[in-house]
Amino acid sequence: MGLPMHPLHTPDGFLTVPIAIAMWVVTAVVIAIAVRRTNERLDERAVPLLGVMAAFIFAAQMFNFPVGPGMSGHLLGGVLAAVMLGPWAGTLVMTAVVAVQALVFQDGGLVVMGANIFNMGVVGTLGGYWLYRAIAAVLGGEARGRLPAAGIAAWASVVAGAVAISIQLAASGVTPVQVLPAMVGAHALIGIGEALITVAALAFIGATRADLFRLRDTQPV
C-alpha cells in the first residue's frame, strides 16, 4: 500500500490542536509584520495591484493541471505575488487568497488555516522571494535574471511548502516522517507547472507593463 499524499490546502483534523495553534501564532506574527512593512514601504500607486494580483491568483488556482497518473496541481502564486508586489505585500495577498478559499470554498480547514497560510504564504512567498533575489543577484540583477530566478524560486516554493506540511503532519502523528521523500517527489513535479506559469505571467507583464515592476517594495526581507 502506498503512502498517503496530502495537499498543501490541509483540511481540519489532520494536525493536532497544539500544532495548529502554534502555526496560527507564528502566522499571526508574520502577518502583523507584513501589514506594517507594507504600509511603510509599498508605493501607494501599487495598492490597486494587490487586489488585481489576489484576484488573478485566486482565479488561476481554480484550474488544475495534470502532473502524473491520478495527480494534479495548480498555481500557488507566492513567488509571482512577491516579485510583483514585494515580499510583505505578496504575503498579504496569499493570506487573503488562502482565507477566501477556506471560508467560501472549504478548500482547507479553518482550524489549520494558520498552517496553510504559513506553508503557502510565508514559506512559499517570503522564502521564495529570498531565493529569487539571491539567484537574480548571481545572474546579474533582476532586469537580466528575473525570469530564470523566478522560475527556480517558484519551483522551490512548492517543494518547500511540501516539506513544511510533511513535518507538521509527522509531528501530528498523521503520517510518518518517511513520507517526506514521496511528498517532495510529487510536489517537485507540481513545481514545474508552478515555474512555467510564473515565468509566463512575468514575461507577459514585462512585455506589456514593465512599469509595474517599479511600483513594488524592493527592500530585502
Q: What is the CATH number of the domain that holds 32?
A: 1.10.1760.20
- 161-180 as b/e, with b when 16 or more CB fall inside 10 Å? bbbbbbebbeebebbeeebb
Domain count for the chain: 1
Query: What are the residues whose beta carbons fall under 8 Å from the beta carbon of 205, sequence distance 6 or more?
Result: 84, 212, 213
For residue 6, the model assigns a pLDDT of: 47
For residue 1, the model assigns a pLDDT of: 33
For residue 27, the model assigns a pLDDT of: 96
220 assigned to some structural domain: no
60 assigned to some structural domain: yes
56 assigned to some structural domain: yes
Q: Which domain holds residue 135?
A: 17-214
188 assigned to some structural domain: yes
3 assigned to some structural domain: no
pTM for this entry: 0.87
**Cα–Cα distance measured from residue 98 to residue 113, given in angstroms and rounded to the nearest whole number:** 8
For residue 69, the model assigns a pLDDT of: 54
193 assigned to some structural domain: yes
For residue 129, the model assigns a pLDDT of: 95
For residue 190, the model assigns a pLDDT of: 86
115 assigned to some structural domain: yes
7 assigned to some structural domain: no
How would you write the pLDDT of the chain (221 residues) with one tens digit per residue?
A: 333 444 567 888 889 999 999 999 999 999 999 999 988 877 777 788 888 899 988 888 777 666 555 555 667 899 999 999 999 999 999 999 999 888 887 777 889 999 999 998 899 899 999 999 999 999 998 889 999 999 999 999 999 988 898 889 888 887 777 777 877 888 888 889 899 999 999 999 999 988 888 777 655 55
